[in-house]
Amino acid sequence: MSDADKLQGHALPGVAEALRRAALRARELARQTHTPVVVYRNGKVESQIPDDTARAGGAERREG
């Protein structure tokens, strides 16, 4: 077992949750400033404008 494998078990448990919190904060800030959020979904890059459900991760797709 490499050192990286040993660290992975200890260092990564909180990473997914931290990324979720960062995404929610980014969506909330984008909602407040009427700024689109760029996401990669289903193999495509999409621009979305967060709606009032941004705190729950909601966003509406933006055409163009």
Beta-ladder partners of 46: 39
pLDDT digits (tens, 9 = 90+) for 36-60: 999 898 999 999 888 876 455 555 5
The residue type of 32 is Q
What is the rounded distance in angstroms from the CA atom of residue 32 to the CA atom of residue 46? Answer: 19
pLDDT for res 5: 60
pLDDT digits (tens, 9 = 90+) for 7-35: 556 667 788 899 999 999 999 999 999 99
